[in-house]
Structure 1
Amino acid sequence: MSQKPYEGSSRRLVLAFDCGTTFSGISYCLLNPGEVPKICNITRYPGQEHVAGASKIPSVLCYDKQGRLRCAGAEALLPENVLNAEDEEWLKVEWFKVRMRPKSMPSALKTSTLPPLPPNKTLIQVFADFFRYLLSCAEKFIKETHATVVKRWDDLLANAVFVIGHPNGWEGTQQSMLRKAAIMGGLAPDTPEGRSRVKFVSEGEASLHFCLREGVDRKGFIIADLGGGTLDFSAYQVTGVKPLQAEEVAAAICHLEGSTLVTLRAEGYITHKLRDSVYGAKEHVKQIANCFDESTKKTFRTENDVCLVPFGSLADKDLDHGIRSGKLKLTGTEVASFFAPAIKATVDAILQQIKESKIPISMIYLVGGFSASPYVTTQLKEQLAKHKISVASPDGQTAKAVADGALSFYLDQFVALRIAKISYGTKYHWKYDSNNSEHKKRSKSVWTRPSGEKLVKGGFRTVLKKGTSVSKETEFRSGYGGQVTRMEDIDNVRLDVRAFYGPGSPPEWMDLIEKRHVRSLCTVTVDKSIVKNIAQRSTSKSGGVYFWYNYDLIINFGGTEMTAQILWNEGTSTHKVERR
């Protein structure tokens, strides 16, 4: 529990959204001047008012043929809406979060296997609709729970902070898309001030904050957030008690191998199993797969189990294909095969982080909805025990780990050091060295600057290397510059910041980097009018006049978002432009 009273001068609302692949939840905090913040949960949603203390709703939206949103969340599962969806042919949109994954994130999942998006709707628009719906749920609950808020809601919303959790493997591109969706969904206005009120935290770091509040081992530990879409792994150690602080000790890992893929594998297997059955039609298979997802997947325990998937009535029977009294029979070995890739990915990721960690790790904390599976928990305990690694779950409802932890992230800021997950750099022209064999290989790319200096094109300059410890204050700086023979030849400065995803350290040459291992993150631009102001006149050794200018690229992580800045000196003043 955060013991530090809120120091602001006026009341403020903070909302944390855990927009999950299969289920989503909201936590909130009303910050009152001089009072210790208290994390609260939305526990009553439209469509499931009868479920006491329900802190999550399905991540589902239903659209009509014109692409208009008709219902969402638990309301989409109400009998009347299910009937309306059939009669009016509404499109049920689910698992849409998986579509936002970075191209750099490998997965056996093909986009074509995902439920389609509604007509004339982009992914950002779907997220915007869902954010708008979550905000309406939060407004209704908070107004009903806190009487003093009713008349002041508009004022609170105008200054509210929104913290959105996302998988460890998501980067600046995904954060930018989510921010656009949040603004489009009415969370904040599209202004610098409004955009600054939409903040992000990785699901791993959010889960850390949740675990620290619940109490964890202070030595090296890994938090495994096993969710519907992704498996996120984060390794930490506690480095301070008063105030409480933690440091990341290995780069975070993210695999697209969550519980939805277990269901997809089950659906594929059932399709093949019933291919010659009267129950092999697509709609029957889909129904059986949905029933597997709701029941069998959640209760499966061992490979010795005989699993029955209830999907129909007593009259439904096809003994040749294992169907009796409306139940499909599956062996425990068959069901275990659906889980196997996820369990292997989890064990491999944990062992990889232990290997890369700066300190010994012997404890794993499981959070996330998928970790509630008794089979997953048992398998992880058995397989990791061979490596003398203990597995446990923190106290409290771990399904709330991301939403509660995202709020704690905003309030407490426990993490002092993070580990860079990837390397960052830019294209670069290296100073030509005639004794360097790599330079000689690229002799056709050598060119001469107005000053007479020879450079070789096609280089890659690393500014921040993967595995580096990064604090909020740390800046990673590299110098750049340009030369022209005439002042009128000066153009805008454009510096493209790139991410390297390949193994090891980035090569110094672009032609040695596979295309799939490098991607542009953002471009920082300085207007040519500014460049002209900082350009200096000089004379080359041959007597020619030229103009030169220098500037620095600075990469830093003021929190969980990467920012890139170009910094230059103009007279006695220092100036900068920034791009997130």
Structure 2
Amino acid sequence: MASLPTRPPPPPPISISVSPAFPGTPKREVSPISTRRSEDDVDEWDAYDDPQDALLNEAATPSRTDSPPRFPNFSSANISTPETRMVVALDYGTTFSGIAYLSVASRQKDQNLDALADDIRVLQGWPTHESEKVPSEISYSPSPKGCRQWGYDIDDNSRVLKWTKLELEETRSRSSELRTLAETLWGMRLLDLSEDAVIRNDIPRHLAKEPEDIVKDYLDNIAEQTLEEICTQVGRRVADNIPIDMVITHPAKWSDKALNSTYRAVRAAFKADLFPKIRNFSFVSEPEACAHYTLREALREDRVNFRKNDCFIVVDAGGGTVDLASYKVVSLDLDQKQFKLEQIGYPIGDNCGATCIDRAFEQFIEQKLGPEDWERLIETDAQDQATGGHSIIKPKLRMLHGRFEGIKHQFDGKDQKLGFPIQLPRGIGTTDDEERGIMNGAIKITVDDLKTMFKHSVDKTLVLISQAATHIQVIQKLKIRKIFLSGGFGRSPYLYERVKAWGMTSSIQVDRGDDCWSAVTRGAIIKSLGVHTSLPPIIRPCPRHYGIKVRTQYAPYNCHRPSEVDVDVEGVKWATDQIRWFINKGDALFPGKPMVSTYDCHWSMRATHFPAQNGTGRAPAQNPGSVSQRFDKRGGGNIMPPPPPPEVFREVVFVASSADEPPTRFAAVNKGRDTVVTLKCNLTKIPDTNRSEFTNKEAGKFYKFWVKVEIHVTEKCEVKITSGGKVLASAEVLLGESDISA
């Protein structure tokens, strides 16, 4: 196993703000499976489970999005700011999401881009509600009232999926996967799949969906609402005929797996069917986008007194994450409201947003109510037992959360003797219990209770601020002038008071703008214009699927053909002729950063089939001074070196497919359209450190030869077979082409 990569050192200082959106590219390793050569009933391509695999990202799932046949240039120079185009920014959040957009006409090419940013519009017309953001919630439950079942417009008696964004980041261990499977199977056993349930359309579809699928379904609604807004404001003809560039925001600490899933979901939702001229997609970190808008507005409103080399910290406190970015003012023109920034280090963050307060609230309610009332509150009826591993909130608990929202948003930490009573749903907490704070069907929440609920989120936020401040003051030896609070959680009076109290200990001012909830989407537009900053790089979709021919453990329900089934020496039945895809069509390819997938495995071979000259199963080492003598017909003697030991080759079959739905069997590969490369590996070249032996009672002694398959995708695709750092075979495939160089 290759060691995990380390984060590179911070970039050198420059005079414009630079996006470090994806520092330290981690390798994406996938859990290995096994394959086998069908022509030999002993040689095997066996599974190898490395314990480190649990720490690494799983291979991405296939995308259904289309991609261009050839791979375009990665350079962002082809985004020409002065041209007629539209920029759309998406802030898909854990609890709320938002859209901002801006039309840039060609006649505005001589206009100051900073002034152009004043025309940024934020979508506020959501179904049934006017707001800068919409809840990141969706339901697959039927709605007798005809609700749209997403955002604000969800029927009261619905199962609602929330916090799905956090599931994109999760790297589940085998034990957690087994728990989810057991819970799902138990729930499915109790599901009501009767004819009446089918007629009611009350089938829990979320059980068959991955987090990425749910995000895509939710973003489908966002995309349609965005199109409706644009058509209303500028007309359908304009929307259909000018290029649209899209910038997507993401948390500071967001894995390649989560970025990839976000990219695929956004690209599938904002598709060409809705936006015929959509072209470029790019990423901007949430704290970076927030910083550009926040400082710009603070300067315009004369809320800052910065000098050159002063520093500030932007705290983007959202529903799921709290992200920080630090900047130094390189130059400043207060008269013209112009500035240049230099980012200090990398953005930092943690999963300590407002959802942690919501979870703490649920724990508080569970403790106060007791097990019986709690079970009634969360409605553990048979139909709802199965969650499929997703975060689901049911009607009664959802109602209680809605009542808690007002208390959470108003809480400022000040003492209130009466506390905060919250009405419980009907039928819960019917028995008064003064000790537990339950009276007349309501439960009282004290100031101390709320401080306990806020404690984790607020304390972790202060720790993050302290880390950023220490880096600036101690390591960089610079002065921090201000801390800017932004985001939905940033509007909390209690968080604001706590951060302000922390800042007073170091004479650091704390600022919070009136429109901090939409600062991220507005800032993303500013970033995409290149206002006082560099343009974000364009992300391109991977044009093909890349994988290898493998064998998988036999499963009767897969209906394998008899010719594709084999049994190894230990009696395990395997399905041969299968394909495992490691990198998928539509995956996000970041400029200057290869997408890498590795696969650890081994071949097995009888000891008698491997060349042996000394009884060990391995050709003996040659003495440099030894020679062998060969006599010719004339009786003369020629001194000749000994012949090399016989070579033993095994093959790895690499496949690249441009099909939207790639084949799962090698026999189904379209040889005329897809690329197939056979790499031959000489087992005698494998180092002794990567060879081991074992004995089977029935079949005798075997050798195992450990190898690693590495697939790298950049402007081309390279596949390598290595062992102990030594390359045994390699090949290169042009993206979208069938030409091979090996």
Under a length normalisation based on structure 1, what TM-score does the superposition of the two structures give?
0.62
Q: 2:712 aligns with which of 510, 518, 523?
A: 523
Offset at 1:237?
1.3
Offset at 1:247?
1.3
Residue number in structure 1 paired with 2:345: 250
Following the alignment from structure 2 to structure 1, what is the Cα–Cα distance between the partners of residues 205 and 432?
35
Residues 273-297 of structure 1: CA distance to partner in whole angstroms, max 9, x if unpaired? 1106757633387257414532221
Amino acid aligned to 1:309: I
Residues 221-278 of structure 1: CA distance to partner in whole angstroms, max 9, x if unpaired? 1000111000001111121347632111132111101101101111012101110675
Residue number in structure 1 paired with 2:168: 100
Change beyond 3 A, Cα 1:287–1:181? closer
Residues 417-473 of structure 1: CA distance to partner in whole angstroms, max 9, x if unpaired? 99xxxx99999xxxxxxxxxxxxxxxxxxxxxxxx9xxxxxxxxxxxxxxxxxxxxx
Residue number in structure 1 paired with 2:237: 151
Matches within 5 A, 1:421-436: none
Residue number in structure 2 paired with 1:412: 530
Residue number in structure 2 paired with 1:318: 432
Residue number in structure 2 paired with 1:509: none
Matches within 5 A, 1:231-310: 231-241=322-332, 244-275=339-370, 278=373, 281-283=376-378, 286-287=397-398, 289-302=400-413, 304-305=415-416, 306-310=419-423
Following the alignment from structure 1 to structure 2, what is the Cα–Cα distance between the partners of residues 521 and 128?
30
Residue number in structure 1 paired with 2:451: 336
Following the alignment from structure 2 to structure 1, what is the Cα–Cα distance between the partners of residues 286 and 481?
21
Matches within 5 A, 1:198-237: 198-215=281-298, 217=304, 218=306, 219-237=310-328
Kept in 1: contact 2:404–2:422 (CA 8 A) = no
Following the alignment from structure 1 to structure 2, what is the Cα–Cα distance between the partners of residues 18 and 407?
11
Change beyond 3 A, Cα 1:549–1:324? closer
**C-alpha RMSD of the superposition:** 4.7
Structure 2: state its 5+ residue gaps: 1-78, 173-178, 184-203, 380-395, 537-592, 598-623, 625-646, 655-708, 721-726, 736-740
Q: How many residues align?
A: 424
- The 10-residue stretch of structure 1 (374-383 or 233-242) with the greater mean CA deviation from structure 2: 233-242
Following the alignment from structure 1 to structure 2, what is the Cα–Cα distance between the partners of residues 24 and 329?
31
Kept in 2: contact 1:28–1:407 (CA 8 A) = yes
Structure 1: state its 5+ residue gaps: 1-5, 105-110, 428-451, 453-485, 494-519, 532-546, 552-564, 567-575
Kept in 2: contact 1:62–1:91 (CA 8 A) = yes
Offset at 1:56?
1.1
- Secondary structure, in 3 states, of the residue corresponding to 2:153? helix
Q: Is 1:33 the equivalent of 2:91?
A: no
Kept in 2: contact 1:316–1:326 (CA 8 A) = yes
Offset at 1:155?
2.2
Amino acid aligned to 2:712: T
Offset at 1:385?
2.1
- Secondary structure, in 3 states, of the residue corresponding to 1:229? coil
Q: Which has the higher contact order (CA 8 A, sep 6+)?
A: 2
- The 10-residue stretch of structure 1 (195-204 or 398-407) with the greater mean CA deviation from structure 2: 195-204
- Secondary structure, in 3 states, of the residue corresponding to 1:161? strand
Following the alignment from structure 1 to structure 2, what is the Cα–Cα distance between the partners of residues 269 and 41?
36
- Secondary structure, in 3 states, of the residue corresponding to 1:302? coil
Q: 1:365 aligns with which of 467, 470, 484?
A: 484
- Secondary structure, in 3 states, of the residue corresponding to 1:131? helix
Residues 541-567 of structure 1: CA distance to partner in whole angstroms, max 9, x if unpaired? xxxxxx99999xxxxxxxxxxxxx99x
Offset at 1:348?
0.8
Following the alignment from structure 1 to structure 2, what is the Cα–Cα distance between the partners of residues 417 and 185?
24
Kept in 1: contact 2:89–2:100 (CA 8 A) = yes
Offset at 1:401?
0.8
Following the alignment from structure 1 to structure 2, what is the Cα–Cα distance between the partners of residues 396 and 304?
26
Following the alignment from structure 2 to structure 1, what is the Cα–Cα distance between the partners of residues 313 and 710?
28
Q: 2:86 aligns with which of 13, 20, 35?
A: 13
Matches within 5 A, 1:63-78: 63-64=140-141, 71-77=148-154
Following the alignment from structure 2 to structure 1, what is the Cα–Cα distance between the partners of residues 85 and 486?
29
Residue number in structure 1 paired with 2:227: 139
Following the alignment from structure 2 to structure 1, what is the Cα–Cα distance between the partners of residues 329 and 264?
35
Q: Is 1:382 the equivalent of 2:501?
A: yes
Following the alignment from structure 2 to structure 1, what is the Cα–Cα distance between the partners of residues 374 and 246?
46
Change beyond 3 A, Cα 1:176–1:426? closer
Following the alignment from structure 2 to structure 1, what is the Cα–Cα distance between the partners of residues 415 and 84?
57
Amino acid aligned to 2:289: A
Change beyond 3 A, Cα 1:367–1:70? same
Residue number in structure 2 paired with 1:45: 126
Kept in 2: contact 1:125–1:184 (CA 8 A) = no
Which structure has greater helix proportion? Answer: 1
Greater radius of gyration (CA): 2
Kept in 2: contact 1:15–1:161 (CA 8 A) = yes
Matches within 5 A, 1:503-514: none
Q: 2:259 aligns with which of 148, 172, 175?
A: 175
- Secondary structure, in 3 states, of the residue corresponding to 1:129? helix
Residue number in structure 1 paired with 2:660: none
Matches within 5 A, 1:74-93: 74-77=151-154, 81-82=155-156, 86=157, 90-93=158-161
Q: 1:354 aligns with which of 457, 460, 469?
A: 469
Residues 177-197 of structure 1: CA distance to partner in whole angstroms, max 9, x if unpaired? 1221122214358xxx99961
Identity of aligned residues (%): 22
Offset at 1:140?
1.4
Matches within 5 A, 1:548-563: none
Amino acid aligned to 1:137: Q
Following the alignment from structure 1 to structure 2, what is the Cα–Cα distance between the partners of residues 134 and 491?
44
Amino acid aligned to 2:503: L
Kept in 2: contact 1:24–1:58 (CA 8 A) = yes
Residue number in structure 1 paired with 2:517: 399
Amino acid aligned to 1:101: E
Following the alignment from structure 2 to structure 1, what is the Cα–Cα distance between the partners of residues 523 and 282?
13
Change beyond 3 A, Cα 1:117–1:220? farther
Residues 29-66 of structure 1: CA distance to partner in whole angstroms, max 9, x if unpaired? 01111224321111211221xx4xx2111111111489
Matches within 5 A, 1:180-195: 180-188=264-272
- Secondary structure, in 3 states, of the residue corresponding to 2:99? strand
Offset at 1:368?
0.5
Change beyond 3 A, Cα 1:527–1:316? closer
Following the alignment from structure 2 to structure 1, what is the Cα–Cα distance between the partners of residues 439 and 291?
46
Kept in 2: contact 1:12–1:32 (CA 8 A) = yes
Offset at 1:524?
3.7
Residue number in structure 2 paired with 1:460: none
Under a length normalisation based on structure 2, what TM-score does the superposition of the two structures give?
0.50
- Secondary structure, in 3 states, of the residue corresponding to 2:528? helix
Residues 123-161 of structure 1: CA distance to partner in whole angstroms, max 9, x if unpaired? 222222222211211121222223xx22232223xx311
